[in-house]
Amino acid sequence: MVIYGVYIVSKSGGLIFNHDHNVPRIENERVFNYPLDLKLRYENKKIVVSFGQKEGINVGHVLTAVNGNAVIGRELENGKDVFDLLEEPECFPLSLKFSRARMTTNEKIFLASMFYPLFAIASQLSPEPRCSGIEILEADTFRLHCYQTLTGIKFIVVAESTQSGIEILLKRVFELYADYALKNPFYSLEMPIRCELFETNLQTLLENVEKSGASSA
Amino acid sequence: MSRTGTKLDSKKVNSELFTLTYGALVAQLLKDYENVEDVNKQLERMGYNMGIRLIEDFLARTGSGRCYDFRDTAEKIQTGFKIFLGITPTITNWSAAGDEFSLCFEANPLTEFVELPDHCLNLKYCNILIGILRGACEMVQMEIACWFVQDQLKNDNVNELRVKFIKRLEDAIPAGED
């Protein structure tokens, strides 16, 4: 029973809150000999495995360190290009560390504003009048639950498919928002929520739901 | 608090503290503005800003759905009074078109210890309520107007708050809600 994250999208479609709750961190370090038996590609300012999946290093994972030195973009800290390095047989064996790519805040904002029109389109496409828009979006590895309030704010929870009690959880998050974000006199509407009390209460709530399901929510 | 049973039980908050705090606010505004009309306007504005936040608390607590009829709205406003002020106004004087009604109540926690002095007979002491109602309804895409037609502070028998439906704010209705 895992909840991966909580997102709040404002009436105008902007991401005003996100919380990564329980995203398993996948990291693998291995020693490689020349020539490298993985195909790497540079995209979106990251070095990504494009082909050759083995021992926990999967397609899509990102190269984060070479011999313990962090990789920034396509370069090492000392300014050396990683692809040049991997072409030089005398540098091997090399210890390469891969991990799953994490979403940056910008990417999250981008995705949140993408969900907004999807939600609207869904309600337009409906064969029946008065359709609510997307409430649950299911994939093989997760389920996205969305609850829109009458005022147009969307609460989104991404969780494991087997996690139960999400509907109650969404309403509880709404209550927390009404209490700890809106009653904070220094919070202005439609702006990103930076309220510590809100975060700590949300954290407790999520842990309770994960531990014992909806009953304690 | 949107939930009873949490640390602050809403029923345990002393209403006198609330009455006095509101009194202090109005007195300070009178000092700051001198002009009674400006005070009325400020109170309305403050109420509006409270209303647009308070509505979320109301929705989270009651789980109520959207109103498709002004009579529903009247009942929900009545519930709101019960939750936040602990009074249950009666709904009366419906207009023939069903777009205007009155809320009548005798006990008003805002004015429990209040007597209006002569120089502020034009003061709309409870104007904050008007702002709150307007703000809260606006957030659920409904434009309303409201005003006091009777006020115990002005020697009427009851307080009568008139609420008028103006229009639905169609543009503001979120997708999947209309």
Split at pLDDT 50, 70, 90, the class of A72 is: confident
Close Cβ partners of A97 (under 8 Å, ≥ 6 residues apart):
A27, A28, A29, A63, A64, A65, A66, A68
User: In whole numbers, what is the pLDDT of chain A averaged over residues?
Assistant: 88
Tell me if A150 and B176 make a contact (CB, 8 A cut-off).
no
Best B48, B140, B141, B177 residue to mutate vs chain A (most A CBs within 10 Å): B177
Specify the pLDDT at position A213.
66
Share of chain A above pLDDT 90, in %: 37
pLDDT recorded at residue B71: 94
Residue B174 has its nearest CB partner, among A11, A130, A178, at A11
List pLDDT tens digits, range A166-199: 999 999 999 999 999 988 888 888 899 999 999 9
Q: Please check the confidence at residue B8 and state whether its pLDDT lies above 80.
A: no
A152 touching B, CB under 8 A?
A: yes
Is residue B172 over pLDDT 60?
A: yes
Contacts A150 to B, Cβ<8 Å:
59, 65-66, 140, 177
Please state the pTM of the whole predicted model: 0.85
pLDDT value of residue B24: 95
pLDDT digits over A105-127, tens only? 899 999 999 999 999 888 888 88
Q: What is the pLDDT of residues B34-78, one digit of tens each?
A: 889 999 999 999 999 999 999 999 999 999 988 889 999 999 999
pLDDT of residue A76: 87
| A133 vs B: CB within 8 A | yes
Closest residue of chain B to A116, computed from CA coordinates: B175
CB-CB under 8 Å, A174 with B56: yes
**ipTM of the complex as predicted:** 0.85
The backbone torsions φ and ψ at residue A20, rounded to the nearest 5 degrees and listed phi first, read: -85, 120
Report pLDDT for A170.
Answer: 94
pLDDT at A131: 81
Q: What's the CA gap between A172 and B5, in Å, rounded?
A: 14
pLDDT for res B2: 53
- pLDDT given at position B174: 78
The confidence score (pLDDT) of residue B12 equals 62
B56 shares contact with chain A (CB less than 8 Å) = yes
Per CB-CB distance under 8 Å, the chain A contacts of B60 are: 171, 174-175, 177-178
Q: How confident is the model at residue B176 (pLDDT cuts 50, 70, 90)?
A: low
Q: What percent of chain A has pLDDT over 70?
A: 98
| Chain B residue closest in CA terms to A184 | B53
CA–centroid distance for A77 within its chain:
27
Position A144 pLDDT exceeds 60: yes
Q: Is A74 or B176 the better-scoring residue by pLDDT?
A: A74
B133: which residues sit within 8 A by CB, 6+ positions away?
B47, B51, B77, B144, B146, B163
Single-letter code of the amino acid located at B141: Q
Average model confidence (pLDDT) across chain B: 89
Rounded distance between C-alpha atoms, residue B116 and residue B95, angstroms? 31
Question: Do the chains contact at A178 and B3, CB–CB below 8 Å?
Answer: no
The answer to whether the CB of A50 falls within 8 A of the CB of A44 is no
Distance CA A8, CA A39 (A): 38
- On whether any CB of chain B is under 8 Å from the CB of A174, the answer is yes
Q: Which of B13, B54, B59 to mutate to test the interface with A (most CBs of A within 10 A)?
A: B59
* Residue owning tokens 């929900």: B76
Whether residue A177 lies within 8 A of chain B, CB to CB, comes out as yes
- Residue A52 contacts residue A38 (beta carbons within 8 Å): yes
Contacts of A98 (CB under 8 A, 6+ apart): A27, A28, A29, A49, A57, A61, A62, A63, A64
Question: Which chain B residues are closer than 8 Å to A183 by Cβ?
Answer: 53, 57
Q: Is B72 on the interface with A (CB under 8 A)?
A: no
Q: Which is more confident, A162 or B29? A: B29
Q: Does the pLDDT at position A151 exceed 70?
A: yes
CA distances (Å), A128 to each of A125, A134, A154, B171, in order? 9, 14, 22, 21
* Mean predicted confidence (pLDDT) in A72-91: 86
Nearest CB partner across the interface for A133, out of B63, B172, B176: B176
Q: Which amino acid is at A24?
A: P
User: How far out from the chain centre does Cα B99 lie?
Assistant: 18
Tell me whether residues B57 and A11 touch, CB distance under 8 A: no
Among the partner-chain residues B60, B172, B174, the one whose CB lies closest to the CB of A178 is B60
Residues forming beta bridges with residue A20, ordered by sequence position: A5
Per-position DSSP letters for B65-83, written without gaps between them: ---SSHHHHHHHHHHHHHH
- Do residues A68 and A95 lie in contact, with contact meaning Cβ atoms separated by under 8 Å? yes
Spatial neighbors of A192 by CB under 8 A, at least 6 apart, are A15, A16, A17
| B87 near A CB under 8 A | no
> Among all residues of chain A, which has the CA nearest to that of B51?
A182
